[in-house]
Amino acid sequence: MRSRLVLFSTIMALLMACEQTDRPELRYIGDIIEPDGSVTPHEIRPFELVDQLGRKITNEDLKGNIHLVDFFFTSCPSICPKVTKQMLRLYDHVEEMDDVLLISHTIDPKRDSVAVLKLYADNLSIDHTRWLFLTGDKDEIMDLANEDYFVAAMESPDAPGGFDHSGKILLLDKDARIRGFCEGTDPESVDQMMLLIDELGKTYE
Amino acid sequence: MNKAVTCFVLILCLVLGCKTEKYQQGRIIYETSCLNCHMSDGSGLGEMYPKLKGSRYLAEDIELLPCLIRQGAQSRQLETVYMPGHPEITTASMTNLINYMSDMWGDGRVVRLAEVTALMESCSK
C-alpha cells in the first residue's frame, strides 16, 4: 500500500513538473543583483518621442498601462511585416482588456515621419489611442532598443533595408518594468506571450 | 499470415511515399523570398502587403507575375513600403513558385517553363 502511494506521488510530481515547464512565468527581466544580494531594478530611461498623431509621448505616459513593445521600420523587407502581423494578433487578444497599449518604435525615423507612421497605422485599421507608433531622435531610439529594451538594433548597410534588428516583443507592467518577452517571428512564442499577458492582467484585478 | 502483413505494410509505405507535396520546390522559394511579407498562409498584412488569395495576379493577370516578382513594386499606399525585386530567381524557380502560389491561392492554373521563359525575356529592364 505504502509503495503504491510513493509511486502515485512520484508520478504526480513528475506530471506537475511537466506542466510547469509549459507555463511561462512572469519575472523581472534585467534587474541587477548586487554582491550583497540587494536588487537594483532595471528601469527604462526617461524618453520623449512622438506618435503617429504627432502627440508627444514620454515614458511617464506609458506608466499605468500594461504595454507591449517592439521595434520595426516601414520599409523593412525582412522580418518586420511578420512581427507586425503577430502584434496585430496581440492587439486583437487585448482588445477587451483595460489599460493595455501596444508601442511600436521605428528604428528609421529619417524615413518614418509622423505622416508615414499615421498612414501605416491607418492601413492596419487600428485604434490610434491603443497602438502607438513612435518616432523621434534616432540615437535615442537606438539606445532605448539596445540598452533598455534589450532588442538588438543597428544600422547596417549590408542588411536588407539598411537595418539589422531582432523581432522581439516585450511585455511591460504598469510600472514600466519588463516582465516577459517573445519572438515576434514565431506564432507559438506569441501564443505563450498571450498567457503571460492574461496572467499579468490578473495581478491588477 | 506474416507475409500478408509484410505485404500490406510495404504497399502502405509505397502509397504514402507517393503522396508527396505537389510544388515542394515552389514552396521553398516562397518561404525564402515571399513569406516574410505575404505570410505563410498568403494573408499578407493590412492593405500594404497584399493578400494572395483572390489576387488578380494569380488569375487573369498571371502573365504579369514573372516580371512583377523579378522587378518588385512600389506600394500605392505608402511611399516607404515596397516589394523588393528578385532577379536571383531563375526561370525554372519562377515557374515552380508561380505554380505553388496558383495551387495554394489561385485557380490552380499551371504555367509551363517555356511560357515563363518567354514572359521573363519580355520584361523591360
Predicted local distance difference test score (pLDDT) of residue B46:
87
Task: Closest CB to B77: pick one of A78, A88, A123.
Answer: A123
Count the neighbouring beta carbons within 10 Å of the beta carbon of residue A153.
Answer: 22
pLDDT at B8: 80
Give residue B3's pLDDT: 81
Question: Which residues of chain B does A120 touch, with a Cβ-Cβ cutoff of 8 Å?
Answer: 48, 78, 81
A68 three-state secondary structure: strand
- Chain A neighbors of B48, CB-CB under 8 A: 120, 123
Answer whether residue B23 shows pLDDT above 60.
yes
Residue B83: which H helix or E strand, with range? strand B82-83
Strand ranges in chain A using DSSP code E only, listed in sequence order = 32-33, 39-40, 48-50, 56-58, 66-72, 100-106, 131-134, 153-155, 163-165, 168-172, 178-183
Task: Give the Cα separation of A149 and A181 in Å (integer).
Answer: 10
Would you call A112 an interface residue with chain B, using a CB distance cutoff of 8 Å?
yes
Question: Is A88 part of the contact surface with chain B (CB cutoff 8 Å)?
Answer: yes
Lowest mean pLDDT across A30-34, A66-70, B15-19, B98-102: B15-19
Distance between CA B77 and CA A124 in Å, rounded? 11
CB contact under 8 A, B78 and A123: yes
Whether B78 and A160 lie within 8 Å, measured CB to CB: no
Give me the pLDDT at residue A194, please.
97
Q: Is A45 on the interface with B (CB under 8 A)?
A: no
How far, in Å, are A131, A175, B108 from residue A44 at the CA level? 19, 10, 52
B-chain residue closest to A115, CA distance: B78
Inform me whether the pLDDT recorded for B20 exceeds 80: no
pLDDT of residue A181: 94
Does the pLDDT at position A9 exceed 90?
no
Q: What is the mean pLDDT of residues B77-95?
A: 93
pTM (global) more than 0.80: yes
pLDDT band at A17 (very low <50, low <70, confident <90, very high): low
Q: Determine the pLDDT at residue B21.
A: 78
Most confident range, picked from A3-7, A144-148, B44-48: A144-148
Cell of B42: 498568403
Residues contacting B38, CB < 8 A, separation 6+: B44, B49, B50, B51, B52
Instruction: Take residue A134 and report the three cell numbers written for it.
Output: 513612435
- Put simply, the answer to whether A77 touches B48 (Cβ < 8 Å) is no
Instruction: Say how far apart CA B49 and CA B80 lie, in whole Å.
Output: 12
**Could you tell me if B41 lies within 8 Å of chain A, comparing CB atoms?**
no
Interface confidence: ipTM more than 0.85: no
Q: What is the DSSP letter of B91?
A: H
Q: pLDDT per residue over A112-165, tens digit each?
A: 999 999 999 999 999 999 999 999 999 999 999 999 999 988 888 888 788 888
Shortest CA distance to A68 belongs to which of A94, A41, A49? A94
